[in-house]
Structure 1
């Protein structure tokens, strides 16, 4: 624990942890100050993400980058899950679907592209496990196809029966969850040797495994608490700033909700551990598409005012499909440079600008 406190004192970014009790206090004292709570929650989530990154890297040092990436993706996606559950209970299905689509696109493009850029600025050429990356990209493509089917078929064939679309969404949700579980068994069980990380030097600045696991648990709880405040304030604050619910869900919620994963992926890339970065980026996108999205469909029967389907607006359909195809092509070579990251980030910027200027109809 002394080592952890020393890292906090030596890292200026972690000094922002002081905003965690501040935002919790302001939420109790002035719950109606949505814009202020929105800004404070963002300032609190960023250092929590950095601390989560440190703990995850320490765990990955012992478990390997494949398992470490899975741990980080799971804990990092907890923020998106809390945000989506809050919106789901309130019946804000447009925000839920925007956050699902946005998380898939943000992880597959922004996180992957920024990792390539930041790692490439320090290292001339970086290598990563092509087998593992292609496996994750394939899963993402299959999951994206399943998410797109209700929207594409319903639009192309002019299916207007909401009961039929909901029934299809329910069956696809069960199928996707089963595929996700089998994928974990394949990559971490029967064929784990194919997903071994590239050799890298051991780092002396990692935390002991016990301290790292305790830190993961505590930070995860704090992230969930701060995320709840963020959700309660983000829509009102977004309206005050002139942002549409689709842009808020697709861009703002995805960027803030994925802060923990971004910190881990970017730090790993700078340390020439691109295997971990790619595993976090694609693993998180796959987990959203194969697990989080389908689970939200199932939970809508329990906590939502009505069942939620997997039908998205046409723009989200196009963006998710392009993101999945881009991830598959970019990771096929097993190496990257900084300019490749620039190209990926340009695609993400195109999506963001388009959604800001041409928001979908309500």
Structure 2
């Protein structure tokens, strides 16, 4: 409740005093901009944690793999809304690409790497469902290629964008593939995404009132994030210009906002030797980001006429290919160790260095 109060109170303050807080004199001052950034980021992250708490309660009521899906959908919904707000503000044609790329690198290298190191140090080796991880990767690989690599090599446009026809067809195909995967995950092949025999949900069936309560809490926590996103975008842009940071940092910040709570859940699961949950959270988040963000970004571009640059530069393409190859090797056997985690963390370190020094 404190997070919700802080989020809505901050929104009220910015609603009535936005012109004063975000005045040109304030945004031109690096210290003041930094304070505003810390304030907004802190409140938005706090609200994001509140969303995860609500989603986690719903997850416990509904069981796996539905619980993980609820967590993932909640995070991706916030991500799409943040990206949409920034795009509709104009002047950010690469924010969708930068965010999807950042989520992929943070999740597949940073969080998975740290999870495998923590789990390996504590439990030596950890088990998970190999067919489930393979199923995730079999969908992630083509979606990453379509979203981040293909636009860089097509010839229908002069820049790393898709033509109108390509955007419509690729957005539709992406949604279809994602829906097929969800049906497989929650239907006939549910057992692939649960390590060991499927345990029946042993808690009392939730009432409509209980579900409604946590759905309301989830929405109440998500709304301040969306309502404050435009102000955050202005502050981030001002701070980036003040310190001379690269524009791609906006995508990194969005990715951190939306995935930090879920990332902490993944790390806790690995520490408790629940690597399957970590795999479901991380690979599921990466898959949902690509499967839902790409169509959303393309749709916004088609409706508003805003340019949507998706293709990565050669450096980004190399990191994507390296990450996919490494993920295939890591999840090619039924057990993981500290070594795989250390390698993933190395690639994540390289990515962070290249964000600030491309």
Q: Same fold (TM over 0.5)?
A: yes
User: Following the alignment from structure 2 to structure 1, what is the Cα–Cα distance between the partners of residues 160 and 345?
Assistant: 37
Q: How does 1:1-362 map to 2 (within 5 A)?
A: 19-21=6-8, 23-28=10-15, 29=17, 30-32=21-23, 33=26, 35=33, 36-89=35-88, 90-147=90-147, 148-154=149-155, 160=158, 165-198=163-196, 210=211, 212-249=214-251, 251-302=252-303, 304-308=304-308, 310-358=310-358
Seen in structure 2, the aligned counterparts of structure 1 residues 337 and 262 have a Cα distance that, compared at 3 Å, is: same
* Contact 1:48/1:223, CA 8 A, preserved across alignment: yes
* Contact 1:66/1:276, CA 8 A, preserved across alignment: no
Seen in structure 2, the aligned counterparts of structure 1 residues 71 and 346 have a Cα distance that, compared at 3 Å, is: same
User: Following the alignment from structure 1 to structure 2, what is the Cα–Cα distance between the partners of residues 175 and 49?
Assistant: 30
User: Following the alignment from structure 2 to structure 1, what is the Cα–Cα distance between the partners of residues 194 and 161?
Assistant: 45
**Matched residue of 1:308: which SS?**
coil
Seen in structure 2, the aligned counterparts of structure 1 residues 121 and 22 have a Cα distance that, compared at 3 Å, is: farther
User: Following the alignment from structure 1 to structure 2, what is the Cα–Cα distance between the partners of residues 18 and 270?
Assistant: 32
Task: Describe the superposition over 1:106-130 as per-residue Cα deviations: whole angstroms up to 9, x where unpaired.
Answer: 2222222222233344433322222
User: Following the alignment from structure 2 to structure 1, what is the Cα–Cα distance between the partners of residues 229 and 123?
Assistant: 35
Q: Which moved more, 1:16-25 or 1:44-53?
A: 16-25
* Contact 1:19/1:40, CA 8 A, preserved across alignment: no
Seen in structure 2, the aligned counterparts of structure 1 residues 355 and 49 have a Cα distance that, compared at 3 Å, is: same
Q: Which moved more, 1:19-28 or 1:195-204?
A: 195-204
User: Following the alignment from structure 1 to structure 2, what is the Cα–Cα distance between the partners of residues 196 and 69?
Assistant: 11
C-alpha displacement of 1:180: 0.7
User: Following the alignment from structure 2 to structure 1, what is the Cα–Cα distance between the partners of residues 162 and 185?
Assistant: 35
User: Following the alignment from structure 1 to structure 2, what is the Cα–Cα distance between the partners of residues 356 and 197?
Assistant: 39
* Contact 1:16/1:44, CA 8 A, preserved across alignment: yes
State the match for 1:10 in structure 2.
none
* Contact 1:65/1:197, CA 8 A, preserved across alignment: no
Seen in structure 2, the aligned counterparts of structure 1 residues 190 and 200 have a Cα distance that, compared at 3 Å, is: closer
C-alpha displacement of 1:164: 7.0
User: Following the alignment from structure 1 to structure 2, what is the Cα–Cα distance between the partners of residues 224 and 324?
Assistant: 31
* Contact 2:93/2:306, CA 8 A, preserved across alignment: no
TM-score scaled by structure 2?
A: 0.82
Q: Which moved more, 1:217-226 or 1:181-190?
A: 217-226
* Contact 1:17/1:44, CA 8 A, preserved across alignment: no
* Contact 2:246/2:355, CA 8 A, preserved across alignment: no
Seen in structure 2, the aligned counterparts of structure 1 residues 150 and 84 have a Cα distance that, compared at 3 Å, is: same
User: Following the alignment from structure 2 to structure 1, what is the Cα–Cα distance between the partners of residues 189 and 64?
Assistant: 15
Q: Which moved more, 1:49-58 or 1:134-143?
A: 49-58
Seen in structure 2, the aligned counterparts of structure 1 residues 128 and 246 have a Cα distance that, compared at 3 Å, is: same
Task: Describe the superposition over 1:288-320 as per-residue Cα deviations: whole angstroms up to 9, x where unpaired.
Answer: 222211221022111x34353543333333322
Seen in structure 2, the aligned counterparts of structure 1 residues 257 and 53 have a Cα distance that, compared at 3 Å, is: closer
User: Following the alignment from structure 2 to structure 1, what is the Cα–Cα distance between the partners of residues 159 and 95?
Assistant: 22
Structure 1, unaligned stretches of length 5 or more?
6-14
Over 6 Å off, 4+ runs:
15-18, 161-164, 199-204
